[in-house]
Structure 1
Amino acid sequence: MEVTLAELLGVARRRLVEAGIAEAGLDARLLVEHLTATTRADAIARPQQQVPAEAIAAVEDAVARRLAGEPVHRILGFREFYGLRLSLSAETLEPRPDTETLVEAVLPLVEAVAARSGRCRILDLGTGTGAIALALLHTVAAASAAGVDISDDALATAARNAAQLGLSGRFTPLKSNWFSEISGRFDVIVSNPPYIRSDDIGSLQPEVRDFDPRRALDGGPDGLGAYRIIAAGASGHLEPGGYVAVEIGATQKTEVQQVFQANGFVLAEARRDFGANDRVLVFARP
């Protein structure tokens, strides 16, 4: 049976709309474009082009997965972050736009150190896909980064992303339980740690709860477990004048600030995300 690009896109969109998928039109377009190797321009200029049978079958399978609740970017196998395409895997958190706030907060610090010293060493704790570190390296040519994770799968994914972006020479994946295997000092330490309270995991959106790795979400009984570890260990791995920047949950600003203050840090900057929620705290140690 012959199917045109316009027909395939229309069917995919309609099935997702009927199922109540929030961004049905966008999800349908992303799936169809990726699996048919077409673009938005093709859909406009050549809507009647025929789609090969194998591409039709691939789209049908992808739509079925989306209807079953799997996030569209998990199906695609990648997500854009800070203008970079990053591969995903089972044990990596899907990088989201809110985390770009952390990159924006840290970028001036990295640029300043690089301008002053000719280099900037970054430690990315819980690197996952490598999103934060790779966004910084892509922007600042004099920077290098160590991406730390406990997951072999995540480290392999981060290394693959670094290679695909041509950044392998400045990105080192390291297996470590936080600071346990880390030596040396860094100019900037960054982290998007797990910060959801354990009891709240079950109430998360199904796309997050069922598909993001729990280890990357669960921050312990009060959601602050990772912050305590980072705050306690950061000083031993910071250069004089260095900074620690962390992503936080929207209601955690005061609690996280208290954790770092108890370990001798002072708040240098607080930033809100695109939704005006508290999202990033930057700390310095006098």
Structure 2
Amino acid sequence: MASAAASLLARLSRAIGRESAQNELRWMRQALQDPSNRIHPTARTVEDMVERRIRGEPLQYILGSQPFGPLHLAVRSPVLIPRPETEDWALTLAHRIRSQAPPARPLRILDLCTGTGCIPLLLCRALPPGWAHATGVDVSEDAVALAKENARLNDVPLSIPTRHASSRERRANAFTPVRADLMQPDVVRQAGLDPPYDVITSNPPYIPKAEYDRLDASVRDYEDVRALLGDPVGAVPATLPEAERDKGLSFYHRIAELVRDEDLLGPDGMLVLEVGDGQADDVANILKRMTHLQQIELWNDPWGKARVVFARR
């Protein structure tokens, strides 16, 4: 048994380094042995897990889960794995909302490109009961199904309470994920959206094509290109200026269009967009030019990079 364990450690160490291998083997064993785990690993043995990890599959897909603030999320390929920098700003946003006076009615939250549902679900869990009714939109059927699963796993109701609901149901924060293509002209109708919203969040695809082609195979081979590539073929807005093309900015341009043309953001509303490395100033300028939102802040991630463009009416 000891020699088998040593062999697994040696093989995994050659692939990812000894220190990482030691940590990951520990997490693999914990995931398989924890009887209270509501999210089961996608492999039955440590040996199978190690084989998949050596082939380059991300650990989160093998374990089947990823912590995210107060949440424990199910993750499955090809839906994008939530990143620590997203967790950081989502917690910051929750703290900012909590620091305000309690809303007279639940805040209407819209999350575009919702993926696992991590951002709106974190807000639903981190905000006091009755503060949040969230909608998440994603083009991927896999993502919408996973977001629904994550709502159930984290005890967030999946439908917005109606006036006929009990008082307890009306006090609950709730989340509804829907499938729709953000780049389609009729996305508001397609998704059944009902503007305006008090808070709009998004971690959209923002990686330029040249950078995408250089990504590690563990990302390109397992995570949905639609959640990564910022300028999808055939979907770059015709109105995107030449100077902003091929920079991964298409989705920010589209979100700005929706805020401007569909009145997506309500009075005193907050727009919170994650951005890629070096994109913050460009995205801030897109918002100023297209939406006339002038109250704009840039938030750094824990590694000192400008990671979020925050705008408010």
> TM-score normalized by structure 2?
0.79
**Mapped pair 1:163 → 2:152:** yes
User: Which runs of 5 or more residues in structure 2 are unaligned?
Assistant: 37-42, 159-173, 232-245
Structure 1 residue 57: deviation in Å?
6.8
Which of 170, 178, 193 is residue 174 of structure 1 equivalent to? 178
Q: Secondary structure at the match of 1:161?
A: helix
Cα deviation per residue 1:146-166 (whole Å; 9 max; x = unaligned)? 011111111010001001111
Does residue 230 (structure 1) correspond to residue 265 (structure 2)? The answer is no
2:271 — aligned with what?
Answer: 244
Helix, strand or coil at the partner of 1:262: helix
Distance 1:9 1:115 in 2: 54
- Give the distance between the partners of 2:5 and 2:151, measured in 1 at CA: 33
Residue identity over aligned pairs, in percent, reads 34
Residue deviations 1:99-146 (CA, integer Å, cap 9, x gap): 023213322443356713242111010110000111110011221100
Match of 1:12 in 2: 8
- Identify which of 125, 145, 170 aligns with 2:134: 145
- Which of 203, 227, 230 lines up with 1:219 in the alignment? 230
Q: State the 1:175 CA deviation.
A: 1.4
Tell me what 2:53 maps to: 66
Aligned residues: 265
- Structure 1 counterpart of 2:136, one-letter code: G
Shift of 1:86: 0.6
Once the two structures are superposed, what CA deviation does each residue of 1:32-68 show, in whole Å capped at 9, x if it has no partner? 22123389xxxxxxxxxxxxxxxx9711111000000
Q: SS at the partner of 2:82?
A: coil
The aligned counterpart of 2:143 is 154
Q: Which residue of 2 aligns with 1:257?
A: 284
Distance 1:262 1:198, change over 3 A: same
- What residue is the counterpart of 1:193 in the other structure? 204
> Quick one: distance in 2 between partners of 1:93 and 1:266?
31
* Unpaired runs of at least 5, structure 1: 40-55
Contact preservation (8 Å) 1:79, 1:86: yes
Determine helix, strand or coil for the equivalent of 1:70.
coil
2:298 aligns with 270
User: Which amino acid in structure 2 is aligned with residue 32 of structure 1?
Assistant: R
CA 1:278/1:14 → structure 2, altered by over 3 Å: closer, same or farther? Answer: same
Paired residue type of 1:162:
A
CA contact (8 A) 2:32 2:44 kept: no
Return the letter of the residue paired with 2:180.
Answer: S
- How does the TM-score come out when normalised to structure 1? 0.86
Q: CA offsets per residue over residues 180-216 of structure 1, 9 Å max, x none?
A: 3322321000000000001211211222222111100
Distance verdict in 2 for CA 1:213–1:267, change over 3 Å: farther
- In structure 2, relative to structure 1, the CA distance for the partners of 1:267 and 1:197 (3 Å cut) is farther
Distance 1:8 1:144 in 2: 51
Higher mean alpha-carbon deviation, 126-135 vs 9-18, is at: 9-18
